[in-house]
Amino acid sequence: MTADIATVRLPDGKSVPCLGQGTWRMGEDSSARKAEIAALRHGVELGLTLIDTAEMYGDGGAEKVVGEAFRDLREKVFLVSKVYPQNAGGNALRRACENSLKRLSTERIDLYLLHWRGAVPLKATVEGMTALQSEGKIGDWGVSNFDASDMAELLAAGGSACATNQILYNLLRRGPEFDLLPAMAKRSMPAMAYSPIEQGRLPNSGVLAEIARRHEATIFQVALAWVLRRPEIIAIPKAATIAHVAANRAALDLKLDADALAALDKAFAPPKHKTPLAMI
């Protein structure tokens, strides 16, 4: 394995790794902090330089872990964080961003996302994100957990600069393929797939296991390789140990052929009609 991995372009032309590192549940157990930091730093050595976190994770604890992990490597990582919906406009948005910046030990968040839609009008969120950009506090901005109708409303509210939509997408959650992913693709807007292996809740027998055996891989690596088959997807699995992050990186080298993809389609059927966007 090398540190050179495929990239995905954001709408403004910036390139980011197609495989990053998630941090949900990090920063909650002080005894795990050293291992979490080591895993994140090892991931960067392997080319997984996109780091996703949020003010919600561990009440800011995950952001603190990320800040400590990359204080001396800031120029090597692309930081993504997310704001609570109740903080998504006006002074509350600015305060939330500034608090995240302090916890992350940085002067800029490369990509700042609205974690999910709340009561704050989308127009206020767009205006607030644009202001943070002009002040240099953030680079790009985007959303998370937005369905196709939410994205349409966002665009109508002036959100054409939205860089991405972070969604739940994996073998068991293929609903976005019906309308959301095609609509985003028309705008050259990549999706970020969180929980790409459904937090480990995948069947350990059947087609998935057979493909894993054939490739001398784990079912999780096969499921992650399946998500990464799409060139417009950025996957952000969480790994809290060096071994786990290395296993995730190895999934990039696993190429599923047409027969394997067809078998997975048969076992985990693509959507034939609209279903509401799932969330975890």
With a cut of 50, say whether residue 116 has pLDDT above it: yes
**Residue (of 79, 51, 18, 41) closest to 252 by Cα position:** 18
Catalytic (active site) residue 112: no
**Does residue 273 form part of some domain?**
no
**Residue (of 89, 18, 77) closest to 53 by Cα position:** 77
The predicted pLDDT at position 266 comes to: 97
With a cut of 60, say whether residue 98 has pLDDT above it: yes
pLDDT-derived band at 112 (thresholds 50, 70, 90) equals: very high
User: What share of the chain in percent tops pLDDT 70?
Assistant: 99
The predicted pLDDT at position 4 comes to: 79
The predicted pLDDT at position 75 comes to: 96
**Does residue 4 form part of some domain?**
no
Tokens found for residue 163:
């860089």
With a cut of 80, say whether residue 121 has pLDDT above it: yes
**Does residue 277 form part of some domain?**
no
Tokens found for residue 280:
């975890």
With a cut of 50, say whether residue 1 has pLDDT above it: no
Tokens found for residue 7:
């990239």
Number of domains in the chain: 1
Whole-number Å distance between alpha carbons of 270 and 266: 8
In terms of residue numbers, what domain contains 131? 16-267
**Average pLDDT of every residue of the chain:** 97
The predicted pLDDT at position 73 comes to: 96
Tell me what the mean pLDDT of segment 233-242 comes to. Answer: 97
Nearby residues of 70 by Cβ (< 8 Å), 6 or more positions away:
40, 41, 44, 51, 76, 77, 79, 105
**Does residue 235 form part of some domain?**
yes
Amino acid present at 129: M
DSSP 3-state assignment of 16? Answer: strand
Tell me what the mean pLDDT of segment 97-107 comes to. Answer: 98
With a cut of 50, say whether residue 128 has pLDDT above it: yes
With a cut of 60, say whether residue 2 has pLDDT above it: no
**Does residue 159 form part of some domain?**
yes
pLDDT in tens, 133-155: 999 999 999 999 999 999 999 99
**Does residue 20 form part of some domain?**
yes
The beta-strand segments (E) located in the chain are 7-9, 15-17, 21-22, 50-52, 78-83, 109-114, 138-144, 165-168, 191-194, 233-235
**Does residue 35 form part of some domain?**
yes
With a cut of 60, say whether residue 181 has pLDDT above it: yes
Tell me what the mean pLDDT of segment 108-112 comes to. Answer: 98
Q: Which of 57, 112, 169, 194 is catalytic?
A: 57
What's the CATH number where 207 sits?
3.20.20.100
Phi, psi of 256 (to 5 degrees): -85, 125
CA separation (Å) from 164 to 8, 112, 116, 136? 11, 10, 13, 19
pLDDT-derived band at 3 (thresholds 50, 70, 90) equals: low
